[in-house]
Structure 1
């Protein structure tokens, strides 16, 4: 499986994470599912409304609802989301595994790096409900 995303979008996630060393950042991945994975056409940064954003994240529900409504109206699909692990690695945490919705893609930023994951609901790679996904840099114009 692969996640196609532009270098500009990857850089945006990394710079947002670097600018927030004390709290997790988060946002939505918008695009389309393909036979090989997903293509991310746009990012939608979102407010982290978690009770303690230092070590967890919760995407603002209003942004999530708006993304679903836009997709139903013909806009890009919600294919997943991204978030950061300040001071940590770009590997899903136990909290991430508990919250993972099967069928979604995750990009996690941590320690200045990004990794992509697919939540499939089965234990894999020792990461709970996630399978590692290859990030393919693409020109998504």
Structure 2
């Protein structure tokens, strides 16, 4: 299946992750047809943002509403692993929720893409194709 993301959005996510280190950065991914068109940075409201992430619920509700108005959907979310591990953690698996969502993990300045599944393991690696700005993709 795979996903596509504009290079400017990928750069925004990587910059957010770098700026929030040593805390885990997090945010939402909006788009359509497996194409990420926007990243919405979120406050990490986790009890321990150094080792986990939780997206502000008020932002999540607002983004659902705004995405529908703009003809988009929440395709998934992103977060960083300041420890450098590129794969989903046990905590990520426990919180995976809905199957079919894109999980981008920023580790070592690189984006790693996974799709949540209903089965164990909870994630499957997926392709992430970087699109140049303005591409029809």
> Normalised by the size of structure 2, how large is the TM-score?
0.90
Q: 1:73 aligns with which of 58, 69, 75?
A: 69
CA contact (8 A) 1:25 1:83 kept: yes
| 1:103 Cα offset (Å) | 1.9
Q: 1:134 aligns with which of 114, 127, 130?
A: 127
| 1:63 Cα offset (Å) | 0.7
Mind listing any 5+ residue stretches in structure 2 that lack a counterpart? Answer: none
Mind listing any 5+ residue stretches in structure 1 that lack a counterpart? Answer: none
- Can you list the C-alpha shifts for 1:41-82, whole angstroms capped at 9, x where unaligned? 111001000010000000000110001112333442111000
Aligned length: 133
| 1:112 Cα offset (Å) | 2.1
Q: CA RMSD in A?
A: 1.4
- Tell me the equivalent position of 1:14: 14
CA contact (8 A) 1:21 1:87 kept: no
In the aligned structure 1, how far is the partner of 2:68 from the partner of 2:78? 21
- Tell me the equivalent position of 2:88: 92
| 1:85 Cα offset (Å) | 0.6
- For the residue of structure 2 that corresponds to 1:19, the secondary structure is helix
| 1:11 Cα offset (Å) | 1.2
